[in-house]
C-alpha cells in the first residue's frame, strides 16, 4: 500500500521534476493575459498556409489539413504553470488532442495527462508520462483496467461508490498500491450547452453530493488508501460562477466533513471556456486561479496537492484547418453551396448542434493569400453522404470565393480531429505542427494511407 495520503516515492520524485522544470519560453507576449491566449487571426493563418504551399509541405493530395501552432501551445502551458502553485499537477486532457507528438511536448514542459479510457492511458504512457503524472478518469472502467492502472501507479479517479468498493477488493486481493480520488458531482446545474454540462442531477459522472454526503465521508473512514477529491462541472458553455460554485461545494465538504489533513490531492478538473466568437470574453488561467484562491484558500496554502485537467483551453486556439474548396454549387432559390473536404467527420459537434458550436471561417486563394472581397452568404457543406453534413448555413464569406480556394476553419485544435468519424472511410488528414509562424514545420501525423485505411476495416 502507499504511505499516508498516497505520497509514495514515485509521487515525490515526479513532484520534484515538475518544480525544477523551467518550462517553455514562448516568443509571444504574455504580459496581457486578458483574454489569454490571443486568437490566431486570418492573416497569421494565411501566412502559414502560403508558406506551406510554396515549400511543398502541403501536397496536392492534401485536400484538407490541420495546422497546429506549437508556439501557441507553449504559451498556454507557460501561462497555466505560472498561474498556480509550482507543486500543482496540470494533467492535460488527452481526449481534447490525442496526438503523441503534442503529448510529448506537454510532458517535456513538466505537465501531466488526464486519460478517459485505457486507450488514452496507453497513449500517455507511449508519450513518456510517468504513471504518477497520469489521472485515469473514465466513468466505465473494467476490473482489469483498474488492476492495470493501480499496478502501474496511475492516479485513479473513482466515478462511483461501487467503483470505490471494486478498487478496495482489488487492493485487498492484489496488494496494489492505490492512489485514488473519488469524483463528486456538486450538482450546480447545466450551462449553456447541455451536452457538456456534467454537474446536473442524475449525471453519469460522479457521486451525488446532495444525496450521498454521508456515504462519501464514510468512504474516507473505510478506505485508508482513498487520498483525494475530484470535481469537474463542464467546460464550454459553463459560467465562471458555476465553475467556482462546483469546486467550492466540494472544497466545503473537505473542510467541514473530511479534513484537510486526510487528503493528499484535490482535483479541480478542467472547465475553462475558450474564445470561439470575437465577442467572447472567457476567463484566463490567472483570473481563474485568483478567484479559486479567494474561494478555496487551503488548496493554495496547505499540503493538499492541486490537480487540474485543462484541455480545450490549452489546445483550441492553437489549431486551425485548411480545406480545399472542390465545388461552388449555385442555387436559384438561395445561397450557393461550398462543397469542401471536411464536415461532420471532423466537426461532429458543429454539424449536429450548429446553434451551440461555432467556428469563424475565412477564405484564401490557391496560393494561400486571403480573399478580402465584399461578403456574400454561402452554405458550407462537407463530403459525407448524409444531408446534415453542413458546417454552416448562410455564412458570410468573400463573394469572389471559387473552386481551388482554401476554406480556413478557426479554433480547431481541440475536440475536432480527436472526434474523427470513419463514416464513408475518408482518409484522416495530415496534421502539420509549426513554430514561429511557419518558419519550421513538422508532421505531427501524416495523412492516412490507403493500406492503413484498408487495414482498419480488415479482419486483422
- The CATH number that applies at residue 403 is 2.40.37.10
Going by the DSSP 8-state scheme, the letter that residue 278 receives in this structure is T
The reply to whether 117 falls in a domain is: no
Instruction: Measure the N-to-C terminal CA separation of the chain; round to a whole number of Å.
Output: 40
Instruction: Please report the pLDDT score of residue 66 as a whole number.
Output: 98
Question: Residue 197: CB partners within 8 Å, gap ≥ 6?
Answer: 189, 190, 191, 233, 234, 237, 238
Residues 256 and 155 in one domain: yes
Q: Which of residues 242, 276, 310 is at a domain's end?
A: 310
Residues 300 and 325 in one domain: no
Instruction: Please report the pLDDT score of residue 4 as a whole number.
Output: 39
CATH number at residue 163: 3.20.20.10
Q: Which of 396, 410, 398, 404 is nearest to 350 (CA)?
A: 410
pLDDT tens string 425-460: 999 999 999 998 777 999 999 999 999 999 999 997
* Separation of CA 76 from chain center: 12
Residues 412 and 278 in one domain: no
Instruction: Please report the pLDDT score of residue 29 as a whole number.
Output: 39
**Which parts of 209-360 are beta strand (E)?**
226-230, 265-267, 305-308, 319-331, 334-340
Q: Which of 77, 103, 74 is nearest to 88 (CA)?
A: 77
Residues 321 and 381 in one domain: yes
Residues 268 and 210 in one domain: yes
Residues 300 and 386 in one domain: no
Instruction: Please report the pLDDT score of residue 400 as a whole number.
Output: 96
The reply to whether 451 falls in a domain is: yes
The reply to whether 118 falls in a domain is: no
- Tally of domains within the chain: 2
Q: Which of residues 310, 325, 348 is at a domain's end?
A: 310
The reply to whether 174 falls in a domain is: yes
The reply to whether 111 falls in a domain is: no
Residues 404 and 264 in one domain: no
What's the rounded Cα separation, in Å, for the pair 287 and 121? 31
Contact predicate 115/105, CB 8 Å: no
Q: Which of residues 310, 333, 364 is at a domain's end?
A: 310
The reply to whether 250 falls in a domain is: yes
The reply to whether 291 falls in a domain is: yes
Residues 370 and 222 in one domain: no
Helix, strand or coil, per DSSP, at residue 54: helix
Instruction: Please report the pLDDT score of residue 37 as a whole number.
Output: 65
Residues 205 and 340 in one domain: no
pTM of the full structure: 0.89
Instruction: Please report the pLDDT score of residue 266 as a whole number.
Output: 93
Residues 446 and 323 in one domain: yes
Residues 352 and 300 in one domain: no
Domain span at 356: 317-456
Residues 294 and 327 in one domain: no
The reply to whether 378 falls in a domain is: yes
pLDDT tens string 119-159: 999 999 999 999 999 999 999 999 999 999 999 999 999 98
Residues of the chain with pLDDT under 50: 1-35
Helix, strand or coil, per DSSP, at residue 406: strand
Instruction: Please report the pLDDT score of residue 214 as a whole number.
Output: 93
Q: Could you give the residue ranges of the DSSP H alpha helices within 109-231? A: 118-126, 143-152, 161-174, 213-222
Amino acid at each position: 500500500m502507499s504511505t499516508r495520503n498516497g505520497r509514495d516515492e514515485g509521487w515525490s520524485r515526479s513532484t520534484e521534476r515538475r518544480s525544477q522544470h523551467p518550462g517553455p519560453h514562448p516568443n509571444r507576449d504574455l504580459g496581457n493575459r486578458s483574454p489569454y491566449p490571443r486568437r490566431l487571426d486570418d492573416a497569421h493563418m494565411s501566412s502559414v498556409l502560403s508558406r506551406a504551399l510554396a515549400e511543398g509541405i502541403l501536397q496536392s493530395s492534401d485536400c484538407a489539413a490541420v495546422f497546429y501552432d506549437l508556439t501557441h501551445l507553449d504559451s498556454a502551458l507557460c501561462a497555466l504553470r505560472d498561474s498556480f502553485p509550482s507543486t500543482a499537477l496540470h494533467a492535460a486532457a488527452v481526449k481534447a488532442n490525442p496526438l503523441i507528438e503534442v503529448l510529448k511536448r506537454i510532458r517535456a514542459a513538466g505537465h501531466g495527462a488526464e486519460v478517459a479510457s485505457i486507450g488514452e492511458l496507453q497513449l500517455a504512457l507511449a508519450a513518456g508520462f510517468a504513471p504518477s503524472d497520469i489521472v485515469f478518469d473514465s466513468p466505465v472502467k473494467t476490473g482489469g483496467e483498474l488492476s492495470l492502472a493501480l499496478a502501474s501507479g496511475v492516479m485513479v479517479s473513482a466515478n462511483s461508490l461501487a467503483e470505490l468498493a471494486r478498487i478496495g477488493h482489488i487492493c485487498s486481493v492484489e496488494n496494489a498500491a492505490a492512489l485514488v480520488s473519488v469524483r463528486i458531482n456538486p450538482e450546480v446545474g447545466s450551462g449553456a450547452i447541455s451536452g457538456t454540462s456534467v454537474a446536473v442531477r442524475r449525471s453519469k459522472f460522479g457521486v451525488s453530493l446532495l444525496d450521498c454526503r454521508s456515504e462519501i465521508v464514510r468512504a474516507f473512514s473505510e478506505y485508508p488508501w482513498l487520498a483525494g477529491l475530484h470535481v469537474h462541472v463542464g467546460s464550454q458553455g459553463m459560467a465562471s460562477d458555476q465553475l467556482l460554485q462546483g469546486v467550492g461545494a466540494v472544497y466545503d465538504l473537505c473542510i467541514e466533513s473530511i479534513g484537510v489533513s486526510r487528503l493528499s490531492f484535490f482535483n479541480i478538473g478542467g472547465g475553462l471556456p475558450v474564445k470561439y466568437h470575437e465577442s467572447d470574453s472567457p476567463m484566463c488561467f490567472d483570473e481563474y486561479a485568483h478567484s479559486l484562491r479567494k474561494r478555496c484558500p487551503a488548496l493554495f496554502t496547505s499540503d493538499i496537492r492541486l490537480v487540474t485537467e485543462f484541455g480545450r483551453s490549452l489546445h483550441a486556439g492553437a489549431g486551425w484547418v485548411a480545406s480545399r474548396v472542390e465545388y461552388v454549387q449555385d442555387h436559384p432559390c438561395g445561397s450557393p453551396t461550398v462543397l469542401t473536404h471536411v464536415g461532420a467527420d471532423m466537426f461532429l459537434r458543429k454539424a449536429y448542434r450548429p446553434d451551440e458550436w461555432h467556428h469563424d471561417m475565412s477564405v484564401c486563394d490557391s496560393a494561400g493569400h486571403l480573399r478580402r472581397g465584399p461578403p456574400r452568404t454561402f452554405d458550407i457543406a462537407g463530403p459525407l453522404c448524409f444531408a446534415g453534413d453542413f458546417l454552416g448555413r448562410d455564412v458570410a464569406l468573400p463573394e469572389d470565393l471559387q473552386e481551388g480556394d482554401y476554406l480556413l476553419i478557426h479554433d480547431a485544435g481541440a475536440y475536432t480531429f480527436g472526434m474523427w468519424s470513419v463514416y464513408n472511410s475518408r482518409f484522416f488528414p495530415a496534421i502539420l505542427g509549426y513554430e514561429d509562424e511557419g518558419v519550421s514545420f513538422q508532421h505531427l501525423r501524416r495523412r492516412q494511407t490507403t493500406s492503413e485505411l484498408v487495414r482498419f476495416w480488415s479482419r486483422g
